[in-house]
Amino acid sequence: MSPLEPFGARLRHAMDTRGPLCVGIDPHASLLAGWGLNDDIQGLETFTRTVVDALADQVAVFKPQSAFFERFGSRGIAVLEKAVADLRDAGGLVVMDAKRGDIGSTMAAYAETYLRKDAPLFSDALTVSPYLGYGSLKPAVDLARESGAGLFVLALTSNPEGAEVQHAVRADGRTVGATMLAHLADDNAGAEPLGSFGAVVGATLGDLSSYDLAINGPLLAPGIGAQGATPADLPRVFGDSVRNVVPNVSRAVLKAGPSPAALRDAAVRFADEVREAVEGA
């Protein structure tokens, strides 16, 4: 597919053909130790290469957590750059989990780091924080449109601390989280088959029927596996929007390593469970 095709269309195709699953690439120290690797650049390289080689040609979406690479400095960033390029070359979509958020020229620089087509870390989408105001994301929104990339905006996150901001009620009676969803719906208006501007909505949050999740865009859903949610929970949490959910599984897949075959089996199992839950909804 053309790299200039909007992210939402490419995501819809990838999930329909490879299965509705996003695998997080989170090489934290405890996971490296579980694989028998040292918490050093060599361990990082071995871990990342194993995951990429095992899954790049079969999983729809990958979400590398930038912080776990950044902690190794420039050599860690080099590992991340290669992983992003190799995943995309194999047909996987990359959502860079960097949660960037700032204003003006600084937000524009973050956008250029991840969303400019010739950037070393160019990714299919980027996670961003809107809590300097949704309008602060405009440089990223604009460049994503130009590059055929997407954004995932933190809206209703699964961490308990998030509620004090996201569930706060504005003067107009709408919560902050609902306001972010409404902005995303506006940015996705008219897009087919799916908009490119998604929300991060935790799969562990339970009943979200009071929120309008019909944003005509994807819903990145962390929390499946180690955090306690299961694929079977998705229809209950996301209701009529469940087909647009991008379920993220990290530790529950990665702990199957370092065997490539075991990694592939775990990814296939979760994708099949998600597909069964979605199609049965």
Please give the positions annotated as active site. Answer: 99
What is the spatial distance between Cα 128 and Cα 184, in angstroms, rounded to a whole number?
A: 12
CB contact set of 273 (below 8 Å; sequence gap of 6+): 230, 231, 232
Cβ(225)–Cβ(251) below 8 Å: yes
Q: Which amino acid is at 135?
A: G
Query: Residue 154: beta bridge partners?
Result: 200
Asked if residue 187 lies in contact with residue 197, where contact means CB atoms within 8 angstroms, the answer is yes
H or E stretch covering 78: helix 73-89
The identity of residue 81, as a single letter, is E
The amino acid at 154: L
Residue 151 CA to its chain's centroid (Å)? 9
**Residue 280 neighbours by CB under 8 Å, 6+ apart:** 235
User: Are 249 and 24 a contacting pair, CB within 8 Å?
Assistant: yes
Residue 221: its H or E element: strand 219-221
Number of neighbouring beta carbons within 10 Å of residue 74:
7
Integer angstrom CA distances of residue 98 from 66, 67, 118, 237: 5, 7, 18, 25
